[in-house]
Amino acid sequence: MNNELVSTWCNLNSSVPSSYVHPEDKRPANSIINTEEKIPVIDFGGHDRAHIIRNIISSAENYGFFQVINHGVSKELIDNTLNIFKEFHAMPVDERVSETSKDPNGSCKLYTGSGRYCSDVARYWKDSLQHPCPPSGEFMQYWPEKPLGYREIVGKYTQELSTLGLKILELISEGLGLDPEYFNGDFTAKPVVISHHYPPCPEPGLTLGASSHKDPNILTILLQQEGIIGLQVFKDGAWIPVQPIPGAFVVNMGFMLQIITNGRLIGALHRVVTNSTTSRHTIAYFINPTEESIVEPAKSVISSTSPPKYRPMTFGELKWNFMNKGPSFAAELGDDIKSS
Ligand code: OGA
Ligand code: NI
């Protein structure tokens, strides 16, 4: 499996192997791109809390996405973390495999080409490293120890992202009139970090770095490498490219937050396109609940005029349905966001 890592063979190919070629209607070359529109940018450095909250809520309602600047995580820590992940993906493949094989239960994963859904018919042009992170401290013993400093740097980064994530969720709770403690505890207990490496691709029009998907979790905070556009968000029938802003994070609502808010905030569809010249690295920090957490519309957002649109289910069930039914699961639940 691991010798299939895209990074180990992609330099040898001048075309995309057929297993990576996506059906015509899913290819980036055949889709509508909207370069006019931009994902909202929110400045957390401002002192007008009410203004920040209003911006978060309207971005989450209209796009399901925003970028955040002046968020308090230092540029130095961000750069060090991105660099350590880049170095990881550049290590010899045997070392990458041995550094990610310490947990017999497989909490740390190195994988490739993986889509979100069982219904995916083609593979994806990326390699990913994934593992749980604080507060699930017990997993740190299984993290890579190479490159040197990995645990220290990634530990600090994920700790700070946990704080930032809770702050964003607190602002969202305030904006929606949820209990300020709503997201503390089980709903945010199982965060996961994924370092994605999208190598250069000889035919970017035919394949994708990541499927058109919604994240099933609560919230995702993504760091994009500067200077390369890859992420696109689906809105009003077209794909909006998310322009990287140095030092900024891209924040997106997961489908679980859509359910909790009874459909008010949207877990938007997004995907990743590749390019032919440069490797692209991103760090996705997923705020995940425990598997047993019950996902349902919050009591304070439902009323006789706004009845629940979604039935209660555990997060484990939500994830299973996402994987096995794909985008049709969201539709089954009454989600009206058209897939592409
Ligand atoms: C994800 C994701 C986007 C990117 O990991 O769910 O959407 O640009 N990543 O890596
Ligand atoms: Ni995603």
Three-class SS of 187-243: HHCCCEEEEEEECCCCCCCCCCCEEEECCCCCEEEEEECCCCCCEEEEECCEEEECC
The domains found in the chain, sorted by start residue, are: 25-333 (2.60.120.330)
Going by alpha carbons, the residue nearest to atom 9 of ligand 1 is: 284
pLDDT-derived band of residue 3, with 50, 70 and 90 as boundaries?
very low
Using the mean position of ligand 2's atoms as its centre, give its distance from the Cα of residue 215 in Å: 5
Across 14-38, average pLDDT: 90
User: Which residues share a beta bridge with 233?
Assistant: 240, 270
Q: What is the mean pLDDT of the chain?
A: 92
User: Is residue 337 over pLDDT 80?
Assistant: no
User: Is residue 40 over pLDDT 80?
Assistant: yes
Q: pLDDT for 201-227, tens place per residue? A: 999 999 999 988 999 999 999 999 999
Name which of 7-21, 81-95, 191-205, 282-296 the model is least confident about: 7-21
- The pLDDT of residue 148 is 97
Tokens 């994924």, residue? 194
Across 59-68, average pLDDT: 98
Neighbours of ion ligand 2 (CB under 5 A): 215
Ligand 1 proximity of 282 Cβ (cutoff 6 Å): yes
Q: Which residue has the higher pLDDT, 196 or 333?
A: 196
Q: pLDDT for 77-104, tens place per residue? A: 999 999 999 999 999 999 999 999 999 9
User: Is residue 139 over pLDDT 90?
Assistant: yes
- The pLDDT of residue 118 is 67
User: Which residues share a beta bridge with 130?
Assistant: 109, 194
- Tell me the two tokens of residue 190: 């199982």
- The pLDDT of residue 115 is 63
CA nearest to 238, candidates 36, 15, 4: 36
Q: Give me the amino acid identity at 291.
A: E
Ligand nearest to the CA of 267: 2
